[in-house]
Structure 1
Amino acid sequence: MAESLLERAWAWLHETFPERQVYIRSDGRVQFFTFSPVFQATLAGLGLIFLGWVAFATVNVIFKDRIIAAKDHRFQQTVQNYEIRVADLQTSYEESNGALVTAEDRFKEVADELQTKQNIIWNVLSRKREVDAILNRRDTTGQAAHEVFDGGKPGDALDAAPPPPSAIQSTAGSSDFTVTPQPVKPQPRSAKPTKASMLDFGSTVGRLAGAIFGRRQTADISPEVIARHPVLRQLAFQTERIRRLSASQTMLMARTQGQVEEGITSIRSILKRTGINPDQFTQRVRGSEGVGGPEIPLSAVSIEGVSDTAFQQAYLKSSAQLTEMTELLGGLKHVPLTTPVAGAAFERTSGFGARVDPFTGRYAFHPGVDWSGPTGATVRSTAPGVVVWADYRGGYGKMVEINHGYGIHTRYAHLSSILVHVGTRVGENAPVGKLGSTGRSTGPHVHYEIWYDDVVRNPRNFIEAGRYVLQ
């Protein structure tokens, strides 16, 4: 099609500007010049351009004054409109300035509230990540931690509750909780509402939250003033948008609190898998000495000046639940959830429960789990604790017993050699002995037992619970 158009254009050019020849006769001689269609078209185009330029110059010279006058008129009109606008702005300056300051204060108040909520949520999530890291403390590679605890006394001293977790610090200042002035049964009727420090990580951000959330609202701006000023309209729109975002932060805080609650349920489920009563274990972890005071419900406690009740309640519950979760995880660290040996060189040869005795051929009860392996292989502790036995013990042969606290003990029997002594504090995966065949044994293996409240337990339940933790 492009070739057809070119052919038509070429035909039109030859038709409009046919080839012409100019003859010149001089002194009896005749000369001629040939003008091709392209040359003629070029001359015609240059002529039109020249005529157009002459016409433009002529019009510009003739109407120059009118053009200048029109431009000057437009300029004067623009200046006049500008002066009118400046006069209007000057007239309403005081009103606009006051309204703008009020709107800016309100915007800053809502923005600060949103920022504070984000900081609080960040602190909660950071704290949750810390406890999640404790939950996933187990070494999946099978390498020894070689962690040894120095100092302290062996035995039941481990049953003491672990120290409370460090408060997470933020950029905010300290905070106060104010008990609402309502009758509380455990308190005298004459008692005045007191201020209590923020539980755990909340002590660092509450006062800022109270200062921001509790700030008194500035004077309302009339809709007429907002409608007259685009800046105020835009600022009011942005303020409302941030207020909606702040409401979404309340929903996020509630979801976070729900996740923390699920974490506590998960830890209690792990304890149930081992056969340990979660309620009983929780009481041991928390301890029962040096605690007390009146029971005040969370609904009677508020951050000073906070009006967002839903966010406040979710925050308080998360604080208390994270403390509970940290306490449970501190106790869970002392629960043996791994195996004393690991790798392809080891094979489980006997489980927990009734079996045929390898020496007598009669049915008998086996109180642990056996893993066979090469003589001299390292046997490691399955949880931190204190060695309470490290010597020969009847049919167990050379045996190590570790008190992990909270009523939990583990035993490692038939060792060829013992690497620890009584009173040694060992960490999880710390070497305690070498695999052997001492005592009542038919070959090199390690006999592993778990005791809770002086009752032997099935190690399989603890190991399966540990696998659940590592999922």
Structure 2
Amino acid sequence: MRTRLAIKLHSLLERHFPERRVFLKSDDDTRFIRLSSETQIAAVAGVSVMVAWTAIATSILLMDSIGSGNFREQAKRDQATYQERLNILSQERDTRAAEALAAHDRFNVALEQISVMQSELLESENRRRELETGIEVIQTTLRATMKQREDARSELAELLQSTDGGAAYMMATANPEQMAFMTDALSRTAAQRDQIAADAQGALDQRDELELEIRLMQERSDEIFRQLEEAMVISVEPLDKMFRKAGMPTDRILDEVRRGYSGVGGPLTPLSFSTRGEELTPDQIRANVLLEQMDQLNLYRIAAEKAPFASPVRAAVRYTSGYGTRRDPKTGGRRMHNGADFAGATGTDIFATADGVVTHAGWQSGFGRLVKIKHAFGIETLYAHNTKIRVKVGQRVSRGDHIADMGSTGRSTGTHLHYEVRVNGTPVNPMTYIKAARNVF
């Protein structure tokens, strides 16, 4: 059975691949190589496999080349989009910085206006007191003058009655000298009476003028009070909102500042107190409220200088990493990042974000060259990976002081600043403070 099947298969192959012979001739002998049908089929199959493999490999190479070209184009488009977003963010940051500077200028102008208005208010209060004193003197003089006038009228009436009753007798018995004396006395009395009446009228006119001037001064004082009250609202509300956005209790913060500055920033003395048990006037009450608000504004300003409401860098930098869990740039694992990273050029100036005392200025494992500053309210700021440190331990610094230069020391993949804010030893998001201070400083 197998033999017949093999014979049929061989005859079928012979039709398409007949047996061939390849002759090899030399000078002495002639030989041939016999190529059977099976050999030819094996050769054709091998050549077909080689051609198919070549075609498939060529197709794969072409597809890979086309795909890599598409990937490069996509990468270029992504890079252009990312660069455009960076430019937009940079422009927005510059706009916010300009708005912050403008707000700071407006804040300073408002403070200057408040100072001028306070001076005008004090001058107005002093002038009002002088006018009240002058009115009291004029009223006293007027009452004395009117009393003298009434006394003179009474004396004149008595004199006239006496002259009417004894006129005939005096005319009969008086000599020319006595008549002249009586006439002169009556003339002086009439002149004195007229002068007293004129003085009384002049005093009344002066009183009316002083009352008008007092009303005008009162209106001016009301206007000054209104402007001061509006300025206080405009100045205090942004500062209060800034502290609340940063999660800082304003009442406790102000109490702590007041205790530390009891000789400078404490409550101001009210304008006046009554020593006779009388109630304060409305102007005195408004003035005392304004003084309390000015004191509160002063406390807010002192507290704001002691909290990190500022950015540690002012040059053009890139915000590369924020606060929270992230992929570790060294190991690739998920780890907590306790600060914010700002990438920039080597040597970029780094500034203190609040008033405080330097507690560390040197090398620390992982952080490289590190600066630590202790502030009020239990706050501490850290500035890591610096190339150069410009402060010493124990040195007092103010907001905006140049404390270090940006570098890549310690555990770092490139030049950047690692900035941390810690409250009572616990790291918090530093961008909370930086964002809270926008449009305020």
| Change beyond 3 A, Cα 1:245–1:169 | closer
How far off its partner does 1:401 sit? 0.6
2:432 is the alignment partner of 1:461: yes
Aligned to 2:397: 426
Structure 2 match to 1:317: 289
**Residue 394 (structure 1) aligned to one of 342, 362, 365:** 365
Pair 1:251 & 2:251 matched: no
> Equivalent residue for 1:351?
322
User: Match for 2:108 among 125, 133, 142?
Assistant: 133
Task: Using the TM superposition, give the Cα deviation of residue 452 of structure 1 relative to its aligned residue in structure 2, in angstroms.
Answer: 2.4
Q: What SS does the aligned partner of 1:371 have?
A: strand
Tell me, what secondary structure is at the counterpart of 1:469? coil
Which residue in 1 is equivalent to 2:340? 369
SS at match of 1:395: coil
Q: 2:308 aligns with which of 336, 352, 377?
A: 336
Picking from 365, 382, 386, the partner of 1:415 is 386
- 3-state DSSP of counterpart to 2:388: strand
Amino acid at match of 2:213: I
Q: Deviations over 1:421-443 (max 9, x none)?
A: 10112222222112111122111
Q: 2:236 aligns with which of 249, 258, 264?
A: 264
Distance in 2 (alpha carbons) for counterparts of 1:270 and 1:351: 21
- The alignment partner of 1:358 has SS state of coil
What is the CA distance between 1:417 and its match in structure 2?
Answer: 2.0
Contact 1:382 1:429 in 2 (8 A): yes
State the 1:363 CA deviation: 2.6
- Superposed CA RMSD: 4.6
1:32-431 aligned at under 5 Å gives the runs 132-133=107-108, 212-213=131-132, 217=136, 218=139, 238-255=209-226, 256-257=228-229, 259-287=231-259, 301-302=273-274, 309-344=281-316, 346-431=317-402
- The residue type equivalent to 2:322 in the other structure is G
Alignment CA distance shift 1:267-1:304 (3 Å): farther
Alignment check: 8 A CA contact 2:135 2:207 kept: no
Indicate the percent of aligned positions where both proteins have the same amino acid.
28
Alpha-carbon distance change, 226 to 343 in structure 1, aligned in 2, over 3 angstroms: farther
Contact persistence 1:210–1:306 (CA under 8 A): no
Give the letter aligned to residue 400 of structure 1.
Answer: V
Contact 1:286 1:327 in 2 (8 A): yes
CA distance in 2, matches of 1:281, 1:170: 29
- The CA deviation at 1:130 is 12
How far apart, in 2, do the equivalents of 1:418 and 1:135 lie?
38
Any idea what the Cα deviations from partners look like across 1:377-416, whole Å, max 9, x if unmatched? 2212122221111111222121101112232221100111
Q: Which has the higher helix share?
A: 2
Partner residue, 2:423: 452
1:354 Cα offset (Å): 2.4
SS in 2 for 1:315: helix
State the Cα distance separating 1:348 from its structure 2 match.
0.9
2:315/2:348 contact within 8 Å kept: no
Distance (whole Å) between structure 2 residues aligned to residue 395 and residue 210 of structure 1 = 69
Sort the Cα spacing of 1:463 and 1:208 in 2 relative to 1 into closer, same or farther, 3 A: same
Q: Secondary structure at the match of 2:311?
A: coil
Task: Tell me the TM-score normalised to structure 2 length.
Answer: 0.52
d(CA) in 1 for partners of 2:132, 2:381: 53
Query: How many residues end up aligned between the 2 structures?
Result: 276
Runs of 5+ unmatched residues, structure 1: 1-128, 138-165, 172-200, 292-296
**Other structure's SS at 2:257 match:** helix
Larger RCO of the pair (alpha carbons < 8 Å, separation 6+): 1
Unaligned runs of 5+ in 2: 1-103, 147-195, 264-268
Q: 1:229 to 1:283 in 2, by over 3 A?
A: closer
The 1:434/1:211 distance shift into structure 2, 3 A limit, reads same
The one-letter code matched in structure 2 to 1:322 is: M
Shift of 1:374: 1.2
SS at the partner of 1:265?
helix
Q: What residue in structure 1 maps to residue 155 of structure 2?
A: none
Equivalent AA in structure 2 for residue 257 of structure 1 = E
Dislocated runs of 4+, deviation >4 Å: 129-132, 134-137, 168-171, 204-216, 219-222, 225-238, 288-291, 297-300, 303-308
Query: Per-residue CA shift, 1:210-267, capped at 9, x if unaligned?
Result: 5654666315699xx9999998887566444323222313422542235325533332
Cα 1:236/1:289, change in 2 over 3 Å: closer
Q: TM-score, normalised by structure 1?
A: 0.49
Q: Report the secondary structure of 2:373's partner residue.
A: strand
**Secondary structure of the corresponding residue to residue 438 of structure 2:** helix
CA drift at 1:340: 1.5
Q: Distance in 2 between matches of 1:454 and 1:370?
A: 20
Deviates more, 1:351-360 or 1:432-441: 351-360
Do the aligned residues in 2 keep the contact of 1:257 with 1:315 (CA within 8 Å)? no
Q: Deviations for 1:286-308, whole angstroms, at most 9, x for unmatched residues?
A: 127989xxxxx989944889997
Which letter maps to 1:133?
A: N
